[in-house]
A and B are shown apart, each in its own frame.
Chain A
Amino acid sequence: MESLGVLLTFPMNPYLEEELSRRCKVFRLWQSPPERRQEFIRSNAPAIRAIVGNAYVGADAATIDALPNLEIVASFSVGLDKVDLHKCRERGIRVTNTPDVLTEDVADLAIGLAIALLRRICQADRYVRSGEWDKKGDYRLTTRFSGKTIGIIGLGRIGMAVAKRAEGFGCPISYYSRSEKPNTNYKYYSNLIDLAANCNVLIVACPLTEETRHIVNREVLDALGSKGVLVNIGRGPHVDEPELVAALREGRLGGAALDVYENEPHVPEELFGMDNVVLVPHVGSGTNETRKEMADLVLGNLEAHVMNKPLLTPVV
């Protein structure tokens, strides 16, 4: 792969960066100041045959247009909303992602967030650390997780993994997706409002597309209601964030646990003071174990491409 010029868009993983530097010629996009990035890309364009991007910086139309020799976009993510797939198809550029390897981590976190939210674990931890337990007595009652009805938006790999884990807690599972899945006993809703009205914990686990942008809007939040809680481990723009903040502020929604936000790394500051939210910084797949597997998958796809072998996880 020594001859392969790779545009690395973001400092996403030290191991991946090290391996890429060892095996290819790497162009580090983030090292140029934002206003000079287009120029950086243009001046190195002849050498760049691959882009390695992630959930923050992928391959938009302008970048793809500026790279006439681009052959492959190997994304260090499962979601490809930062890659212009249409343009890639047009140009015959291959696209790969890192499916499956992060499924377990994201599903684990979804359950962890739901329990932390209902049982107020982060709040209990703050209460103990601030010495209040000793001074003010027991923390207040929280809400049971076992047996609550879980509504899942998007029953793909991650949605299924969330469902399987929640079943271990005796939770009935319902879901919304474009079409009913043939191989499950989970209750299907063809209408998201109906799902939200009939579950206690609504978990967003679908890909971000034109259709699913702001899929969780005011109507859905109101249907979920003051006894319901939202868990988002998908993408920030799945949820209409100002509406979510308003619903929490006005007590129309019971709570929210969020791993993703509309304008990362910015989180609406109004949430910082709320006790019925859990806020984590897009760490769904952020474990050492999974990041290494994702990096190996990116490297494997690039290697397969260079050697004219079938790609490991092609999307386009």
Chain B
Amino acid sequence: MSPSTPQPPEVLLLRPLLPSFDAALSGKFRFVKTWESPLPLHDYLAQRAASIRVLLCSSLQPVPPDVIDRLPALKLIVGSSVGLDHIDLAACRRLGIAVTNAGSVFTDDTADYAVGLLIDVLRHISASDRYVRQGFWPLMGDYPFSSKLSGKRVGIVGLGSIGSAIAKRLEAFGCPILYHSRTMKQSVSYKYFANVCDLASESDILIISCALTDETFHIIDKKVMLALGKHGVIINVGRGPLIDEKELVKCLMQGEIGGAGLDVFENEPVVPEELFKMDNVVLSGHSAVLTPESFHDLLELITANLEAFFSNKPLASPVAL
């Protein structure tokens, strides 16, 4: 590159990007790839720290707090997810580092997936697909009856962009919508519950779509599950640690709740093996947002955030810190 051409701005990466993202972005930005250096991470960061103003997080792997501390010039962390539980937001607030998330690019896919998991759990789609593929239908006769969705009371935990999109979809199924969130939303007519247990006891179905924070860790505990009851169904498209997973497995084994559709788990990619044998659960490996449509929109949003930062314009999807 000739000295007269300005160098693309530097962006720090702690892990490789998707190859398609790398290809699309590397013309516009110069990636500092920590894993390619033979030096230990801290030494490498110490060498480069003075010029690094932006960190791009492409995965849900935690950003070590000391990385942030070692980057005095850091002004922006660009996240690739909606939830930012892997980033120390308190430190960012303290140090004046802006943070962006995936905004609403995953809203439709996550809401679709929540409804898909729900219909699957109630109507036994995956379980009866197994039944057909194993050749049981002609041998063992009709598949047992399942449960109806239309008209069931749906309690949504966290009525943000994704929770609202789930509500809108399930309204079209004639489901009364109830919700819990930190504060009551003035813009909706759904019934509000300040307490998750109260929400669970008035719901047939609980859908978890809130952010994972210190306050929401294990927000779905044994008490909530018992309040939901034997025919109740839990769908989790938020984060694994929102549910006390050990208690969930116990409640399912003992018939204390009716079923579960889970896209997220406490120790991903490890899933409690007790669940593998159950026909009243649907399991999916954190796949709710894995569509080319989502990834296309995410790439555009990441580009928009980076370009806005380097041209001193307002960020496209900043989070309130």
Residues of A in contact with B (beta carbons under 8 Å apart): 104-105, 107-109, 111-113, 115-116, 119, 121-122, 124-129, 131, 133-134, 137-147, 164-170, 264-267, 269, 272, 278-283, 286-291
Contact = CB atoms under 8 A, between A and B. Distances in A.
Interface stretch (B26-34, B79-87, B111-119): B111-119
A167 B168 CA distance: 10
Interface of B: 108-109, 111-113, 115-117, 119-120, 122-126, 128-133, 135, 137-138, 141-143, 145-151, 168-174, 269-271, 276, 282-287, 290-295
B150 to A, nearest CB: 4
A290 B148 contact: yes
* A-B pairs with lowest CB-CB distance, top 10: A168-B172, A112-B119, A115-B116, A104-B150, A133-B285, A146-B108, A124-B284, A128-B283, A144-B293, A265-B137
Contacts of B147: 287-289
A280 B129 contact: yes
Contacts of B269: 133-134, 137
B109 A144 contact: yes
A104 B124 contact: no
Nearest to A168: B172
A278 B125 contact: yes
A55 B9 CA distance: 67
Contact of B115 (A111, A137, A141, A290): A111
Contacts of A112: 116, 119-120, 123, 125, 149
Given A133-B269, A280-B128, A108 B148 contact: yes
Nearest to A264: B137
Given A142-B287, A144-B291, A281-B137, A129 B276 contact: yes
A123 to B, nearest CB: 9
Given A105-B150, A142-B290, A286 B145 contact: yes
A286 B123 CA distance: 8
A112 B137 CA distance: 20
B132 A279 contact: yes
A111 B125 CA distance: 11
Contacts of A146: 108-109, 111-112
Contacts of B141: 265
Given A107-B150, A286-B142, 5 more contacts: A108-B173, A109-B125, A128-B271, A138-B285, A287-B148
A168 B173 contact: yes
A272 B133 CA distance: 5
Contacts of B293: 143-144
25 contacts: A108-B123, A108-B148, A115-B112, A116-B129, A119-B113, A122-B125, A124-B285, A125-B283, A138-B286, A138-B287, A139-B284, A139-B290, A141-B291, A141-B295, A144-B108, A145-B116, A169-B112, A278-B125, A280-B125, A280-B143, A282-B142, A283-B123, A287-B145, A288-B145, A288-B147
Nearest to A105: B148
A289 B174 CA distance: 15
Contact of B123 (A264, A272, A287): A287
Contacts of B125: 109, 112-113, 116, 121-122, 278, 280
Contacts of B292: 141, 143-144
A128 B285 contact: yes
B173 to A, nearest CB: 6
A109 B171 contact: no
Given A112-B125, A281-B131, A286-B145, A267 B137 contact: yes
B168 A168 contact: yes
Most chain B beta-carbon contacts within 10 A, residue among A131, A287, A288: A287
A280 B143 CA distance: 9
Given A121-B116, A124-B287, A283 B128 contact: yes
Nearest to B288: A119
Given A108-B150, A111-B115, A168-B171, A280 B132 contact: yes
B126 A134 contact: no
Contacts of A266: 138
A131 B119 CA distance: 24
Contact of A121 (B126, B133, B151, B276): B126
A283 B146 CA distance: 8
A79 B129 CA distance: 23
A127 B150 contact: no
Contact of A104 (B116, B171, B174, B291): B174
A271 B125 CA distance: 16
Nearest to B137: A265
Contact of B126 (A107, A122, A164, A170): A122
A282 B123 CA distance: 12
Contacts of B149: 104, 108, 112
A139 B117 contact: no
B71 to A, nearest CB: 29
B271 A104 contact: no
Contacts of B270: 134
Nearest to A293: B148
B151 A281 contact: no
A101 to B, nearest CB: 10
B146 A140 contact: no
B306 to A, nearest CB: 23
